[in-house]
Every structure is written in C-alpha cells, then in structure tokens.
Structure 1
Amino acid sequence: MSPLLAAAELQDHLMTVSNDLERLQRLLDDAGEALSMHFYSAAGLVSGLLQQTGQLPEGCSDALRQVNEDIAGAVTALQFQDMATQLIAHTSQRLRNCQDQLARDAFGDDEDGEAVVEIAPMRPNPVTQDEMDAGSVELF
C-alpha cells in the first residue's frame, strides 16, 4: 500500500472515530438532560411533601427525608455527564489535530493555501477525577 493511500485510510478512520465521539456526546447530553429533569422534579415533589409534614401520616416525613437524601446522592451521578463531556471534547480536539497534521504532512498544501492544523489541547487531561463519591454537588 502506498504511503499516501495509507495516510488517506488512517485519516478516514480518525474521522469515523471523531463522528462516533460526536454521537456519543449527543447521547450523553440527552441522557443528562433527562436525568436532571426527573431528579429535580422528584426532589421538588419530595420537598413539597416535607413542607406538609403536619398533614402526613406518622413516619412518612422520615421516609420522605430519606428519599430526599437519596435523590441528592443520585444527582451526584449527573457530574458524570459533565466529566464525560469534557473528556470527549478533549479527545475530539486531539483527534482533529492528528487528522490535520496527517493531511498536511501527507498531502501538503492545496490551491486554497496553507493547510490549517487545529491546535492540540495544552493539558494532557481535562478531568483528573476518575470516580464518583457522594458529597456536595456542583453541577455544570
């Protein structure tokens, strides 16, 4: 296989991976939005019920407080969407840089001018956390 053909094939593979990452990003965005909506709706309902504790049967307020704590803990998992989004954007930028460099080095400039190479991210990793723990939640 000629070097130009190999470079073109590699560039196609890199572009396919980039497109897959974009689809994954859209799926995560949709899932994160749906989770947020449902969690905040449930939390609002539970908070409303907790404010009416004088009208609830005995023992319900404790159960509602536990549900409220469980909802708050589950919202922590929504931080996953934010971290995943950062990692996908970072990886996509690196892939784009590889694609551009490959095209410039293998095919050179064209009649439109000098090949533009997207700048690679400066940091090696935008997210240093690799696990989720319960605690305070700061969303997006």
Structure 2
Amino acid sequence: MTVTNDLERLQRLLDDAGEALSEHFYSASNHVSALKRRADEASSADSATLQKVMEHIAGAITALQFQDMATQLIAHTSQRLRNCADQLARDTFGDDEDGTVVVEIAPLRPNPVTQDEMDAGSIELF
C-alpha cells in the first residue's frame, strides 16, 4: 500500500507538471503565431526565425505525450499493486463477519502503453 501511495503522489506531480507544460506551450505557441503572422505580412527576415521557433514549440509536444504515457502506466501499476495487496489480505485474513472479501480484478492487459519511444509528428491533444 505504501508503494501505491507513492505512485499516487507521483501521479499528482506528473499531472501538475503536464498541466503547467500545456499552459506554457499553448501560450508560447499563440504569441509566436501572432508574431509570425505580423512578420509574414511585412515580409520580414524574422519570419524564418519565427518558423524555427514554431518547429521547436511543436517538438515540445512530445513531453505532453510522455506525461500521458506515464499517467497510463502509473494507473495500471497501481491497479496491479492494489490487486496483489487485496489478494494477500484475503489469503492472510480470510473472510470476516461482514462477508466475503472482494478483490478487484487485475488489469487484463500486461501493459497499457506499448510505445517505448517518442518522435515528433502530428499530435491531437484533448
């Protein structure tokens, strides 16, 4: 149960970091897009620089993918640990006066995330 609590704390930290990253990403992207539109209208040499900045911002989205994958893995691992703890408690203590011990079913899939690396590309955020 201690490990499950640690995983829950890690989940909260990742959620906070992912939310902050998303906010900063969208804010920076909006500001750079506005600057790029103005530079394009003026045929400025800064347009190429702003295009590079947009490419770097687009590359930052992989960090958001990492947060999503990590969240799925933490939730999956927490469910498995909870199942193991419940089974151990049931086997050790058995049923009590309230009735039969209920053990949550362990996740059927061995791993919710099959991806083990990330590349930049088109990504849909929701």
Output the TM-score relative to the length of structure 2.
0.95
1:122 equivalent to 2:113? Answer: no
What is the Cα deviation at residue 111 of structure 1?
Answer: 1.3
Give the secondary structure class of the aligned counterpart of 1:104.
Answer: helix
What is the Cα deviation at residue 55 of structure 1?
Answer: 4.3
Q: Gaps spanning 5+ residues in structure 1: where?
A: 1-14
Aligned partners of 2:35, 2:98: CA distance in 1, in Å?
A: 65
RMSD: 1.2
Q: What does residue 51 of structure 2 align with?
A: 65
What is the Cα deviation at residue 59 of structure 1?
Answer: 1.7
Taking every aligned residue pair, what percent have the same amino acid on both sides? 77
Q: What does residue 47 of structure 1 align with?
A: 33
Q: What does residue 3 of structure 1 align with?
A: none
> Do the aligned partners of 1:101 and 1:117 also contact (CA within 8 Å) in 2?
yes
Larger Rg: 1
Q: How many residues align?
A: 125
Give the secondary structure class of the aligned counterpart of 1:52.
Answer: helix
Give the secondary structure class of the aligned counterpart of 2:60.
Answer: helix
Aligned partners of 1:32, 1:19: CA distance in 2, in Å?
A: 20
Aligned partners of 1:112, 1:23: CA distance in 2, in Å?
A: 32
> Do the aligned partners of 2:62 and 2:120 also contact (CA within 8 Å) in 1?
yes
